[in-house]
Structure 1
Amino acid sequence: MSRFSSSLFLTLVSLAFHGVHQQPAVAGCANYEAVGWFTNAVSGERSKDIAGTSFRCGNAYSAGGGFRSSDLTVITTVCINEEMCTDPRFKPNTTYVSINQGKSVSSEQNKGEILSFTRNSITMKLENSPILYSWKDAKFIPCYECQVSNGGT
């Protein structure tokens, strides 16, 4: 093989490998000061406003968001791309929710449903639960380290 052919061959192999082997996508996140609350859909009873922070993250394979305060943590995740849903607990295109109240610490993810999603607010619930969890984003919080630390996706 000539030197030109060898260089061309190595370049083509390198480009082919790059096309097949994709690096994992890094999630882009936005963080906000936020106000959250929960409502019993049966009784209509609503909690007081809870001051906290919210985040929304996403990449080509998954999306998620959440609300965090000292009294309530709600995180929702959906895996979009079937090839990237390698965790057997997650089914593609299914919404999962994790809720912790007060000192309760649970990382269990259950099926959930997004009831409302706007540019600055989210309302969601666990499957078969009458409790609706909502939060409204307020002031944007610049945070360049949050892409990894949010864990929402």
Structure 2
Amino acid sequence: MQRAGNIVVHRFNRRNEVFEVREMPNGKVLVVDLARRTCDCGHFQVERLPCRHVIAYCANQRLNCQLYVHDVYRMTETHKVYRFEFVPLGDVETWPAYYGPTLVANPALRRTLKGRPKLTRYLNEMDSCDMRGPQICRLCGAQDHSRSRCPQRVRPSGAGDIGPP
């Protein structure tokens, strides 16, 4: 409702229920057809709820915008879900024995919880090392090693010493 405050109803044909609105900050013009329940923004037909453009038109024409809410969102439809009886399942031990097929899970489809996630995208020719060229160290400019493995890298004292002092 607040976002509909900066929308002006530009032109309308009340008989055909078609109108044009203009958003004031950017001057964007959108067409709404209430008979077909469509709007150029796309929200009206996807969500089946009045978008801000429909709300602006209803406020301009003093109409109730609740008329354009789809029946799915009404309380009468929600009550229809619960009108059927639910049968309690009872204790598992009182259930009859099952002799049907046994479901065996595929371990390859199981999600691993530990570690770094595996790469899921498809690799193409740009991912091969041949296309990228040789690895060049940014520190010394030599090939076949990186800056973190460079032999000329300054290490803290005692980091590479092996043996007794």
Q: Same fold (TM over 0.5)?
A: no
Identify the structure with bigger relative contact order (alpha carbons < 8 Å, sequence gap 6+): 1
TM superposition score normalised by structure 2 = 0.21
Give TM-score, length-normalised by structure 1: 0.22
Bigger share in strand: 1
